[in-house]
Chains A and B, each alone.
Chain A
Amino acid sequence: DTGVSQDPRHKITKRGQNVTFRCDPISEHNRLYWYRQTLGQGPEFLTYFQNEAQLEKSRLLSDRFSAERPKGSFSTLEIQRTEQGDSAMYLCASSFPQGAYSTEAFFGQGTRLTVV
């Protein structure tokens, strides 16, 4: 499968615990995005990487959230001291801009986080 891969698919954690999610983008894609989707809503942008550089972060990304993309390949999203409000689907997407316009963003299947 050469699509965007996310791991784990599901995560249940107790409030206060730390969790880490991984995203493997399509290999030639240099842009990587994280989105969060709550039930019944559209995805909301969290952060964006161009290669290994994190170039933009949403105000939704509190101090408890951190993302990395070492070597410009896979990315990790860590949530520290999880809260029940963090329960959501965390989606990763990647793209490869070409010319004046970027190609489409391909999404992974997401990681469903439940904080109990």
Chain B
Amino acid sequence: QQQVKQSPQSLIVQKGGISIINCAYENTAFDYFPWYQQFPGKGPALLIAIRPDVSEKKEGRFTISFNKSAKQFSLHIMDSQPGDSATYFCAASTEGSARQLTFGSGTQLTVLP
């Protein structure tokens, strides 16, 4: 059972544009929602994370928006740069499951110069 659904599968934006990736979850026990960035041949690296007690978190050009009632969260990348071209995964976890991560299926982002 896929517990975290991610869209779109791929995304192409122009340099300087805004990239938006969306995720929806089913398990209401999830209480930690990280986004990971993965470059080819590398392991995932944490980009930004949010807990459900806040609706938005911003770190530099990256913002997570969180809607607890809709069970949805999204990643916004402002002023997208070619160096942001990578695969992005949303994920979710609970302490009850020892923080094992349930990942979305990924979004391949391409930022055109």
How many A-B pairs have beta carbons closer than 8 Å: the answer is 64
Known: A104-B46, A107-B45. A42 touches B106 (CB 8 A): yes
Instruction: State how many angstroms separate the Cβ of A68 from the closest Cβ of chain B.
Output: 18
**Interface of A: prevailing SS:** strand
CA distance A91 to B44 in the complex (A): 9
> How long is the Cα–Cα vector from A26 to B20 in the complex, in angstroms?
32
Q: How many residues of B contact A (CB 8 A)?
A: 26
Interface set, chain B 74-113, CB cutoff 8 A to A? 89, 91, 95, 97-106
30 contacts between A and B (CB under 8 A): A4-B43, A31-B99, A35-B101, A40-B106, A41-B105, A42-B4, A42-B89, A42-B106, A43-B89, A43-B101, A45-B100, A45-B101, A45-B102, A48-B98, A48-B100, A50-B98, A56-B97, A56-B98, A91-B43, A91-B44, A93-B43, A93-B101, A101-B95, A104-B34, A104-B49, A105-B46, A107-B36, A109-B41, A109-B42, A110-B42
